Structure 1
Amino acid sequence: MSKPSRDRFDEVPRTTGRVGAHRAEEPGMNGWVVLLWSFVAALVLIIVGIFGALTVMGRIDLFPEAAPSAAPTPEQTGVIDTSYSVLILNASPDDGLDDQMRDTLINEGWPAASVLASDSESDDFATTTVYYVSAEDEEAATGLAGIIGGAQVQQSDYYAGQTEDGQKQLTVVIGVDRTAAAPETPAP
Structure 2
Amino acid sequence: MSKPSRDRFDDVPRSSGRVGAHRAEAPGMNGWVVLLWSFVAALVLIIAGIFGSLVVMGRITLFPEAVPTVAPTPEQTGVVDTTYSVLILNATPDTGLDTQMREQVVNAGWAADTVFASESASKDFATTTVYYVDAADEQAAIGLARLIGGAEVEQNDFYASMNDTGGKQLAVVIGLDRSASGSPAPEDTPAS
Is the TM-score greater than 0.5?
A: yes
Instruction: Report if the CA contact (8 A) 1:92-1:124 is conserved.
Output: yes
Which residue number corresponds to residue 63 of structure 2?
63
Runs of 4+ in 1 over 4 A off after TM superposition: 185-188
Instruction: Report if the CA contact (8 A) 2:82-2:110 is conserved.
Output: yes
Alpha-carbon separation, structure 2, partners of 1:187 and 1:112: 31
RMSD: 3.4
Instruction: Report if the CA contact (8 A) 2:125-2:186 is conserved.
Output: no
Gaps of 5+ in 2: 1-51, 188-192
Query: Aligned to 1:126, what secondary structure does the other structure show?
Result: coil
Instruction: Report if the CA contact (8 A) 1:88-1:171 is conserved.
Output: yes
Larger displacement relative to structure 2 (62-71 or 120-129)? 62-71
Alignment of 1:117-132 (within 5 A): 117-132=117-132
Which residue number corresponds to residue 177 of structure 1?
177
Instruction: Report if the CA contact (8 A) 2:79-2:142 is conserved.
Output: yes
Larger displacement relative to structure 2 (153-162 or 92-101)? 153-162
Identity %: 62
Counterpart check, 1:92 vs 2:92: yes
Counterpart check, 1:101 vs 2:101: yes
Across the two proteins, how many residue pairs are aligned to each other? Answer: 139
Alpha-carbon separation, structure 2, partners of 1:186 and 1:124: 8
Query: Aligned to 1:86, what secondary structure does the other structure show?
Result: strand
Instruction: Report if the CA contact (8 A) 2:130-2:154 is conserved.
Output: yes
Alpha-carbon separation, structure 2, partners of 1:84 and 1:165: 10
Counterpart check, 1:154 vs 2:150: no
User: 1:7-41, CA deviations, whole angstroms, 9 ceiling, x for partnerless residues?
Assistant: xxxxxxxxxxxxxxxxxxxxxxxxxxxxxxxxxxx
Q: Per-residue deviation at 1:125?
A: 0.7
TM-score with structure 2 setting the length: 0.62
